[in-house]
């Protein structure tokens, strides 16, 4: 045989082999997509159930009839066909119209895990999820989810596979033919000899691919990698999110973007102590989350300069490069007067919006003068951002309840900006929010954002409900967005997290060493079990309830006296406000009482330490503890819970976590408590103290895997990905408008 026909034959064989391989991939793809879609549906059902669980548990005893209408509203959404509530005997008590009769809603034994079954309903494929619901009388929630879209997904995947196959066949065939013809004409003996050698399975000494083919295959590999990456990001399954993933994402998706963060609290505070300047890292969940993101992305962080030496440390433009000694981004400080601070920060933000959004039974206070300061300071920050921007379309990440008006104020001056607002605290239901005298202004301000993020779907739902009640707008539940004044704002849940691995962990000693150091510092004997609570001294954190639970534990289980100590570490915060000083006084009083009741010479049940602790000290305490208690009465997320988990690389330690902290929907392996139930909390503490090491390990492992995977880079990445999608859509709309 001559060389050219032999070459053509070889290419033919390769093409047939490739086609057979692709055909064999089809059933495999069907299986994978089906599994993936099913998991997707299960997750969605869980999400829906988690977001309505509280309300259902509240209302199922008192007003089960109200649940019917509520369920009907939900079934218009998220491909949910029907919803129902069953009693413990497996009888359907409340159900939407499309719920078929005879659905088996019994739970398996005392199982706390949901059960899923695939079935058909009027010829349609559906998935039935049965979820346990707690309450005085444990029952179950049934969710029927349609599965018809799975077939569409499989169809789409097949189509892409066919396209890919066709491109591969054409590519390989074309390149092969060109090579063979070229070899015939120019006698590329080297290449053909290489192919001969391959056939004879001799060790290869020459490149088998020419540079063009190699380049092409690299491109195809790159495309496939991108495709896989996008799929993984979109369906949220494991991607190792790290600073470099985030940097890559910025480079690819938002090239040349100027990034700004705006928050009230600054990440580094310069304070004068005697004749020295000391840098302090504030106790703020917002700062712990955003700081690593800014270290990864660079850019400018605009914040209130609140330190006593802040003015001395900035340049003429009010900038200072941070982190000190290892600069990665710029901090732009904005100055506000004492009077403005009283009105904007202490008044409207912390006496008005903070208690309004946290259901901790502290009455919000609204004063007209505070509102005026709030408006003025928001305007000052908006102007500062606009002055800093050197392009018309920066990416601006606005943080928290201090700046509800900022998104619209920036939008008015930079209409092309991508404004990503994140509300770090809960959003209450419409009725609760309705008492705010400036509710319309606040909502309109937030709706100047491109994307508005909350920690949980429940908070997004409350926001939609509030907009619906008070604003002339269109809510598009399919796109999860609000159109107001002709502009669309996407409203999504983005559960915030911490950096992984946490920077503070790097300098930590082994757990035993940390434990010995903490024992020595507090004068504790070697066998003493240690509990910790570490947070700002805030009434939302349930500190008083926790101290009472310790009292209850020592009363009911006196064997713990002398064997268990609780270290309550609190950072003073907003101490000018009466609600905070009253809390401090009460905490001191209860601590003294409990210590007098249960303590004795050489044994102090509670150590109340009121001072700011830097991250290194906090991590050391976490590593020394047998149990950590987070008992928030209401909390957007609560990063202390995640930090405790991250600190325990020995996979030991138990976490007692309030169900009213957003973190409880993620860290379900913690001992979940209701902080209003002091006895229940005491029981959980007792249970944590006797938890076997293997159980601690199992729970801790799962929680650590969750926090590692869903770290703060993923949080920022998901928001930026949504932003980039919207930016692209906006560009297309601009082209269309120009045509």
DSSP letters along 135-156, please?
Answer: SSS-EEEEEEEE-HHHHHHHHH
C-alpha span between 39 and 441 (Å, rounded): 41
**Position of minimal CB gap to ligand G6P:** 284
Evaluate whether 524 touches 564 at the Cβ level (below 8 Å): no
Q: Please, which residue, 154 or 425, has the CB nearer to ligand G6P?
A: 425
Cβ neighbourhood burial of 429 (10 Å; 0-12, 13-18, 19+)? middle
Strands (E), 504-619: 529-536, 564-571, 606-610
Where along the sequence are the contacts to ligand G6P (CB under 6 A)?
Answer: 265, 284-286, 400, 424-425, 536, 573-574
Q: Please, which residue, 541 or 623, has the CB nearer to ligand G6P?
A: 541
Q: Please, which residue, 580 or 619, has the CB nearer to ligand G6P?
A: 580
Asked whether the bond before 323 is cis by omega within 30 degrees of 0, the reply is: yes
Q: Please, which residue, 80 or 357, has the CB nearer to ligand G6P?
A: 357
In the 8-state DSSP scheme, what is residue 603? B
CB of 663 to ligand G6P, least distance (A): 13
Q: At 116, which helix (H) or strand (E)? A: strand 115-121
What is the number of other CB atoms lying within 10 angstroms of the CB of residue 676?
A: 13
CB of 401 to ligand G6P, least distance (A): 7
The closest alpha carbon to 652, from 626, 616, 671, belongs to 626
Q: Please, which residue, 509 or 575, has the CB nearer to ligand G6P?
A: 575
- Phi and psi at 236, nearest 5°, equal 75, 5
What is the number of other CB atoms lying within 10 angstroms of the CB of residue 601?
A: 5
- Between the CA of residue 360 and those of 76, 422, 540, 630, what are the distances in Å? 32, 21, 6, 15
CB of 581 to ligand G6P, least distance (A): 15
The closest alpha carbon to 69, from 86, 50, 55, 90, belongs to 55
C-alpha span between 339 and 341 (Å, rounded): 5
CB of 572 to ligand G6P, least distance (A): 9
C-alpha span between 418 and 717 (Å, rounded): 15
Query: Cβ contacts of residue 268 below 8 Å, gap of 6+?
Result: 279, 280, 281, 320, 322, 323, 324, 331
CB of 682 to ligand G6P, least distance (A): 27
CB of 635 to ligand G6P, least distance (A): 9
CB of 571 to ligand G6P, least distance (A): 8
CB of 637 to ligand G6P, least distance (A): 9
The closest alpha carbon to 265, from 237, 228, 290, 236, belongs to 290
CB of 448 to ligand G6P, least distance (A): 19
CB of 27 to ligand G6P, least distance (A): 50
CB of 631 to ligand G6P, least distance (A): 16
Q: Please, which residue, 41 or 269, has the CB nearer to ligand G6P?
A: 269
Q: Please, which residue, 84 or 347, has the CB nearer to ligand G6P?
A: 347
Q: Please, which residue, 285 or 717, has the CB nearer to ligand G6P?
A: 285
Q: Please, which residue, 463 or 484, has the CB nearer to ligand G6P?
A: 463
C-alpha span between 27 and 394 (Å, rounded): 46
CB of 144 to ligand G6P, least distance (A): 38
The bridge status of strand 80-86 relative to strand 654-658 is unpaired
The bridge status of strand 259-263 relative to strand 300-304 is parallel
Q: Please, which residue, 176 or 347, has the CB nearer to ligand G6P?
A: 347
| Three-class SS state of 332 | strand
The closest alpha carbon to 462, from 493, 436, 486, belongs to 493
CB of 547 to ligand G6P, least distance (A): 21
Q: Please, which residue, 53 or 304, has the CB nearer to ligand G6P?
A: 304
Evaluate whether 403 touches 381 at the Cβ level (below 8 Å): yes
What is the number of other CB atoms lying within 10 angstroms of the CB of residue 119?
A: 14
C-alpha span between 682 and 668 (Å, rounded): 19
Q: How far is CA 23 from the centre of its chain?
A: 40
Q: Please, which residue, 508 or 573, has the CB nearer to ligand G6P?
A: 573
Secondary structure (H, E, C), 167-211: HHHHHHHHHHHHHHHHHHHHCCHHHHHHHHHHHCCCCCCCCCCCH
Q: Please, which residue, 75 or 497, has the CB nearer to ligand G6P?
A: 497
Q: Please, which residue, 351 or 620, has the CB nearer to ligand G6P?
A: 351
Residue written as token pair 């902080």: 675
CB of 731 to ligand G6P, least distance (A): 33
What length does the chain have?
739
């Amino acid at each position: 045989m001559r060389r050219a026909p032999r070459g053509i034959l070889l290419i033919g064989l390769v093409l047939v082999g490739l086609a057979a391989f692709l055909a064999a991939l089809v059933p495999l793809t069907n299986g994978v997509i089906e599994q993936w879609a099913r998991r997707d549906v299960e997750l969605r059902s869980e999400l829906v159930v988690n977001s309505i669980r509280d309300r259902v548990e509240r209302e199922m005893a008192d007003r089960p009839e109200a649940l019917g209408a509520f369920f009907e509203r939900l079934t218009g959404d998220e491909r949910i066909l029907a919803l129902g509530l069953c009693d413990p005997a497996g009888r359907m008590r409340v159900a939407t119209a499309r719920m078929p009769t005879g659905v088996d809603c019994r739970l398996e034994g005392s199982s706390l895990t949901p059960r899923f079954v695939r079935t058909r309903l009027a010829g349609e494929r559906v998935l039935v999820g049965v979820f346990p619901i707690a309450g005085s009388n444990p029952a179950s929630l049934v969710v029927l989810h349609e599965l018809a879209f799975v077939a569409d997904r499989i169809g789409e995947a097949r189509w892409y596979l066919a396209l890919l196959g066709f491109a591969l066949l054409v590519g390989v065939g074309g390149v092969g033919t060109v090579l063979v013809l070229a070899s015939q004409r120019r006698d590329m003996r080297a290449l053909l000899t290489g192919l001969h050698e391959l056939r004879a399975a001799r060790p290869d000494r020459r490149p088998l691919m020419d540079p063009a083919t190699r380049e092409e295959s690299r491109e195809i590999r790159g495309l496939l990698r991108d495709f896989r990456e996008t799929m993984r990001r979109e369906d949220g399954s494991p991607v190792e999110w790290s600073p470099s993933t985030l940097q890559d994402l910025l480079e690819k998706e938002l090239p040349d973007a100027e990034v700004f963060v705006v928050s009230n609290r600054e990440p580094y505070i310069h304070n004068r102590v005697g004749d020295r300047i000391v840098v302090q890292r504030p106790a703020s969940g917002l700062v712990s989350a955003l700081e690593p993101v800014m270290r990864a992305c660079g850019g400018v962080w605009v914040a209130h300069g609140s330190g006593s030496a802040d003015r001395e440390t900035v340049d003429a433009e009010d900038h200072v490069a941070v982190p000190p000694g290892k600069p990665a981004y710029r901090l732009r400080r904005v100055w506000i007067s004492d009077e403005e601070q009283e009105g904007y920060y202490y008044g409207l933000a912390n006496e008005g919006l903070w208690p309004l959004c946290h259901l901790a039974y502290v009455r919000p206070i609204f004063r007209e003068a505070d509102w005026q300061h709030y408006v003025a300071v928001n305007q000052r920050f908006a102007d500062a951002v606009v002055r800093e921007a050197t392009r018309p379309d920066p990416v601006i990440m606005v943080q928290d309840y201090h700046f509800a008006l900022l998104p619209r104020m920036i939008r008015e001056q930079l209409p092309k900006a991508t404004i990503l607002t994140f509300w770090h605290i809960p959003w209450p239901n419409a009725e609760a929010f309705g008492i705010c005298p400036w509710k319309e202004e606040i909502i309109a301000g937030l709706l100047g954002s491109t994307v508005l993020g909350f920690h949980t779907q429940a908070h997004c739902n409350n926001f939609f409900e509030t907009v619906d009640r008070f604003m002339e707008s269109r809510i598009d539940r399919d796109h999860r967005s609000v159109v107001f004044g002709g502009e669309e704002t996407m409203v999504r849940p983005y559960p915030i997290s911490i950096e992984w691995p946490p920077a503070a962990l790097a300098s930590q000693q082994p757990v035993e060493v940390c434990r010995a150091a903490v024992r020595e510092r507090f004068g504790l004997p070697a066998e003493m079990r240690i509990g910790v609570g570490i947070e700002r001294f805030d009434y939302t954190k349930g500190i008083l309830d926790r101290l009472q639970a310790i009292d209850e534990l020592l009363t009911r289980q006196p064997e713990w006296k002398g064997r268990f100590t609780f270290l309550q570490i609190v950072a003073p915060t907003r101490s000018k406000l009466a609600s905070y000083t009253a809390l401090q006084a009460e905490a001191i009083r209860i601590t003294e009482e409990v210590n007098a009741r249960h303590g004795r010479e050489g044994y102090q049940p509670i150590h109340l330490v009121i001072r700011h602790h830097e991250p290194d000290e906090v991590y050391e305490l976490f590593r020394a503890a047998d149990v950590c208690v987070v008992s928030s009465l209401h909390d957007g997320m609560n990063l202390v819970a995640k930090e405790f988990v991250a600190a325990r690389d020995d996979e030991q330690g138990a976490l007692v976590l309030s169900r009213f902290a957003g973190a409880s929907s993620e860290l379900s392996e913690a001992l979940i408590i209701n902080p209003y139930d002091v006895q229940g909390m005491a029981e959980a503490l007792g249970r944590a103290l006797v938890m076997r090491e293997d159980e601690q390990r199992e729970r801790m492992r799962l929680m650590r895997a969750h926090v590692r995977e869903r770290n703060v880079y993923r949080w920022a990445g998901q928001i930026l990905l949504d932003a980039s999608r919207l930016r692209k859509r906006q560009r297309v709309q601009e082209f269309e408008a120009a045509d």
